[in-house]
């Protein structure tokens, strides 16, 4: 099954994707992670992307699309979680077209519902491991030893530049204007599933698995 996870910044898309990868052996494509990896490697795309990501603005669609196309071509298969893509109706249309070309079907698009006040608390307390990408929250899900990644033991945990209050505000506004319409888009195509994204991570994961795999 191929799925799209969408929702506002901080809704838990990355956290839930990591669980689907470890427990259901799904493949994960996160456009945000792909851009961050280009920035880290200082590729020409990364140099262009940094300004967009740090300020919370969306990268141009053509750049994002060709990156996704390349990532999908490398996976050759089923069981893909698209995290943070599509992010507007134009990208969703482009994904439908690409899907027809390469035989890639999105079966469900899952929307994570989390109130804005909770999102701001989550983003401002997020720490990410620079080495392996594991994500923590300083209050909700801290690493076992402060400042040390549980997964790879690296001491290089950092806070994302776009998790500043100013950038969070921009991201939330852009989300409402350009990404939230995807709910109607996938509803009209009979593929929308909504999950309450509040509560402990494992509870959210149970809800997600129920909408994806339980027969109605």
**Interaction site with ligand AP5 (CB under 6 A):** 9-15, 30-32, 35, 52-53, 56-59, 64, 84-85, 87, 91, 122-123, 125-126, 135-137, 140-141, 162, 171, 200-201, 204
- Using the CB atoms, write b or e for 107-132: b if 16+ within 10 Å: ebbbbbebeeeebbebbebbbbbeee
**Closest residue by Cα to residue 122 from 198, 21, 51:** 198
> Cβ closer to ligand AP5: 28 or 171?
171
- Smallest separation, CB 208 to ligand AP5 (Å): 11
Q: Any catalytic annotation for residue 130? A: no
The single residue of 36, 87, 108, 207 carrying the catalytic annotation is 87
Question: Closest distance between ligand AP5 and the C-beta of residue 200, in Å?
Answer: 6
Decide: 7 and 111 in contact? Cβ < 8 Å. Answer: yes
Query: Which position's Cβ is nearest ligand AP5?
Result: 32
Catalytic: which of 50, 57, 130, 160?
A: 160
The verdict on whether 189 is a catalytic residue reads: no
CA distance 90 to 96: 10
Q: Quote the least distance from Cβ 98 to ligand AP5, whole Å.
A: 13
Query: Could you list the active site residues?
Result: 13, 87, 126, 160, 171
């Amino acid at each position: 099954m191929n799925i799209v996870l969408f929702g506002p910044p901080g809704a838990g898309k990355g956290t839930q994707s990591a669980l689907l990868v470890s427990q259901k052996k799904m493949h994960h494509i996160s456009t945000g992670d792909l851009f961050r990896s280009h920035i880290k490697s200082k590729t020409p795309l990364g140099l262009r992307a940094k300004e967009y990501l740090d300020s919370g603005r969306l990268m141009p669609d053509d750049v994002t699309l060709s990156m996704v196309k390349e990532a999908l071509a490398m996976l050759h298969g089923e069981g893909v979680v698209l995290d943070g893509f599509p992010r507007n109706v134009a990208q969703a249309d482009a994904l439908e077209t690409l899907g027809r070309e390469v035989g890639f079907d999105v079966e469900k698009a899952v929307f994570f519902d989390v109130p804005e006040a909770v999102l701001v608390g989550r983003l401002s307390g997020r720490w990410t491991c620079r080495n392996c990408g594991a994500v923590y929250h300083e209050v909700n899900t801290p690493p076992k030893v402060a400042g040390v990644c549980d997964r790879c033991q690296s001491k290089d945990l950092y806070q994302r530049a776009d998790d500043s209050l100013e950038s969070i505000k921009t991201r939330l506004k852009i989300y409402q204007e350009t990404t939230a319409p995807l709910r109607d888009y996938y509803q009209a195509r009979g593929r929308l599933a909504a999950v309450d994204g509040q509560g402990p991570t494992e509870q959210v994961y149970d809800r997600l698995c129920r909408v994806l795999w339980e027969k109605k």
